[in-house]
Chain A
Amino acid sequence: MKLAVVVQRYAADIGGGAELHARYIAERLSKHAEVEVLTTCARDYVTWKNELAAGDDTVNGIRVRRFPVAQPRDVDRFGELSQLVFDRTHSVADELRWLSSEGPTSPSLIRYITKSEASYDAFLFFSCRYYHAWHGIRAVPRKAVVVPTAERDPAIGLSIFGPVLRGARAVMYNSLEERALIQHLTGRQGPGVVVGVGSEIPDRAEAMRFRRRHHVRRPFALYVGRIDANKGCAELFTYFQRYAARHPNGLDLVLIGTKVLDVPVHPRIRHLGFLPDQDKFDALAAADLLVMPSRYESLSMVTLEAWAMGRPVLVNGACDVLRGQCLRSGAGLYYTTFEEFAAGLYQLEASGPVAAVFGRRGREFFRRHYAWPVIERKYLDMLDRLAREPAAPIDALPGFLARRARTVRPAAQVVAAAPAGPVLS
């Protein structure tokens, strides 16, 4: 079996959610099939500037084919088109213009996919909202398996994604909430399974090593990820400063990740910058809990890693996916207000009443749903099923005039009207 993993960026040191997800899946599936990665030369997800050499490369033993991006993203143009399609009545042509402006626009990648359809048994497209996935799925719908990594943001409400997600052979969802959202918005009925992704958990993580190296003495809550307002960090800082004033004997806050937002100067907030994986897992071992303030997550890998390490989590309850995972795993609490945040921190302290119970449950939840053998088996079963079942045709694009009719509802309205909340069963 020969598989192609198609993703917007790919390199060993790219840490973005979908990209890391794609790398893990490619490396894991390479044990069962011949896997190639088809990607662009971009490293930066904002500009899509060609930074890596086009052509063949090998990353951790996986063959990678890189194709140049025809034009970098014009941020202003993309912003204008985003406003148009998200907030105003527009046309399908407007949405296609939005897709091209979002990028990474790489016609050579799409041409290669079309030309070499027969060479691969399946194409795994990661991140359905980007150019490579939309055009790639339309190029090879009979062999397209989509890993949408869709969040509850307006982009998923655009009408152009409906036919593509309906027409793909299979969809590998990250969570039950993502499946419910996509099925509601697109009316998809075909094969699909909630898979998610595992993680490379080290055999040994040492809390003491982290404490010694970074001079962390007090108990702490840990945040791992990009420190960005879009990730809910501004709210986290506000809430934590209030918590620290109210509970002088409570937890500290340790932050790991690249800084986009300024970290407030506070004696109980420590920012350690970007750390290697081993340090991250040592930090998780040393932490009392992981806090995940993001409102938009299709699957938080670091949350799963915290559970794998037996640590409870405190997540933003506004994110359906995270809230649903906490409820289903019984291994974390969620907050929607400051009071809930403060009470949640108290409950989940290592010396608190439920931390140990939650830690055990998180480890069990991870083992049952996100251990690599489980993930690999789901992918292989799905590929096996697709080989046996016939493919359905994909919907054609509207005609020249219909494409230009300004009758499409604003995407933000479409998403807002979709049912929200965690899926409990």
Chain B
Amino acid sequence: MSELNVRSDAVDVEQIMGQIRARIREKRGADYTETELQQLASVKLEKFMDPQGLRSDLIEQFRKRQAAPGTVTTTTTDAPPEVPLGLYRRLRRFVGSMLRLLSNTNRILAFDARMQSLEARLQERDSLYYELMHNLTLEITRLGIEVHNITMRVESLSSRLDFDERRGRSLESVVQYRPQAAARPQQPVGGTPVAAESSVAAGEGRSRPFGQPGQPATVANAGSDQGGERRRRRRRRRRRPGQTFAEGGGRPQDGGAGTGSESSARTHGHDGADETSGFADGPADDDGGDDSTDSTES
């Protein structure tokens, strides 16, 4: 995945937009496009998601249908219905005898009755098949939506992770490319990289809250005056065991500057820890000035 690296004033808007678009293109494989989202939003789920249409005895119905044999009803014409007298009766009798002479109507009627029965059974089975297909479609749709949702959640989680990783890397690269940071190894004071870093932060006038990693190194860096401070701190600790400096109302100035840059403090502050991370000083600005100074320059 392409990373955004900004290390100097030679920042090109088009280049940044190109990097943003490239990253979006890479993610598109797993993510929805705007069009897909619109399509999904326009689907009427009620059509598929009607729980009232489900039956639990569907298999029983199928078994019953298969078990019941087709009943064939036969109709005989042995007892002809009553008809009016006269010419019509004579004519009917004549035609009837002729038909009996030429064909067996019992067979035809029996076949007709059997066809009707078969058709009725097929209709019943069709309705069952329809219901079965409906239920299958319903389940598949549900599963599809669920899979999409889970994919989205996974994608969302991975993008959050990606976001945090990129932010971390960018911040690291920004810190590395600061002139003070570049000069860090040459600084003799303190003798350790951690101490040098603390002096960079102090030079910027930024403070960090207590209780963060690197604090002992900061104290060691502060020179001989820090010895008395350390003793005072120990005495305070003894007085109020189990209590942190922050809880005890300790001022940031008491312990010297923190070990990180303002920007890293800001990043932590996004989790809602603004009051303790010094966020209330306003947005960070790499030129080291505070906000009121910025506006004065303009």
Nearest 9 Cβ contacts at the A-B interface: A356-B286, A350-B283, A207-B282, A351-B266, A249-B270, A207-B291, A205-B295, A353-B170, A353-B6
Q: CB-CB < 8 A to A355: which residues of B?
A: 283-286
B16: contacting residue among A333, A337, A360, CB under 8 A: A333
- Please provide the chain A residues from 251 to 289 with a CB less than 8 Å away from any CB of chain B in the complex: 281, 285-288
Decide yes or no whether B78 CB sits under 8 A from chain A.
no
Q: Point out the residue from B11, B167, B269 that lies within 8 Å of A346, measured CB to CB.
A: B167
Closest to A339 in B: B24
Q: How far is the CA of A285 from the CA of B296 in the complex (A)?
A: 11
Residues of chain A with a CB closer than 8 A to B269's CB: 218-219
The answer for the CA separation of A181 and B262 in the assembled complex, in Å, is: 45
Give the interface segment out of A67-75, A89-97, A324-332, A390-398: A324-332
Is there an interface contact between A286 and B291, defined as CB atoms closer than 8 Å? yes
Bound CA–CA A60/B60 (angstroms): 90
Give the residues from 133 to 188 in chain B that come closer than 8 angstroms, CB to CB, to chain A: 156, 159-160, 163, 166-167, 170-171, 173-174
Residue of B nearest to A211 (CB): B280
Are A204 and B295 in contact (CB-based, < 8 A)? yes
B266's nearest neighbour on chain A, judged by CB, is: A351
Once the chains bind, are A250 and B270 in contact (CB under 8 Å)? yes
Residues of chain B touching chain A, judged by Cβ–Cβ distance below 8 Å, are 4-6, 9, 11-14, 16-17, 20-21, 23-24, 27, 34, 156, 159-160, 163, 166-167, 170-171, 173-174, 262-264, 266-267, 269-272, 274-275, 279-287, 290-292, 294-298
Q: Is the CB of B296 within 8 A of A366?
A: no
What 10 additional pairs, Cβ within 8 angstroms, besides A287-B283, A356-B284?
A: A202-B295, A206-B292, A218-B269, A246-B159, A246-B160, A247-B160, A340-B21, A351-B167, A351-B266, A354-B16
Given the known interface contacts A339-B24, A351-B171, A367-B298, the answer about A218 and B270 at a Cβ–Cβ threshold of 8 Å is yes
| Interface pair A207/B24, CB less than 8 Å apart | no
**Does A358 sit at the interface, judged by CB under 8 A?**
yes
Cβ B20 vs Cβ A344 within 8 A: yes
With a cutoff of 8 Å between Cβ atoms, the chain B residues found around residue A185 in the complex are none
A363: nearest chain-B partner, CB-CB? B298
CB closest residue in chain A, given B267:
A351
A residues 175-204 near B (Cβ < 8 Å) are: 201-204
Q: Sort chain A's interface into a size bin.
A: 35 or more
Complex contact B23–A343 (CB within 8 A): yes
Assess the A285–B291 pair: CB atoms within 8 A.
Answer: yes
Closest to A332 in B: B13
Which chain A residue shows the least CB distance to B170? A353
The answer to whether the Cβ of A103 comes within 8 Å of any Cβ in the partner chain is no
A54, CB-defined interface residue at 8 Å: no
In Å, the complex CA distance between A309 and B297 comes to: 8
Interface residues of A in 199-240 (CB under 8 A from B): 201-208, 211, 217-219
Inter-chain contact B287/A356, CB cutoff 8 Å: yes
Contact between chains at B298 and A308 (CB < 8 Å): yes
Contact A334 B17 (CB under 8 A): yes
Which residues on the B side are within 8 Å of A339 (C-beta)? 20, 24, 27
A357 vs B16: C-alpha distance when bound (angstroms): 13
Question: What are some 23 contacts across the A-B interface (CB < 8 A)?
Answer: A206-B291, A249-B271, A285-B282, A285-B295, A288-B283, A309-B295, A327-B13, A330-B12, A332-B13, A339-B24, A340-B21, A340-B24, A343-B20, A343-B24, A346-B166, A349-B266, A351-B267, A353-B6, A353-B174, A356-B285, A356-B286, A357-B286, A366-B298
0/1 string, A136-163, CB within 8 A of B gives 1: 0000000000000000000000000000
Asked if A16 is at the interface of the complex by the 8 Å CB criterion, the answer is: no
Report the bound CA distance from A347 to B17 in whole Å.
10
- Chain A residues within 8 Å of B272, by CB: 218
Q: Across the interface, which residues of A come within 8 angstroms of B281, CB to CB?
A: 208
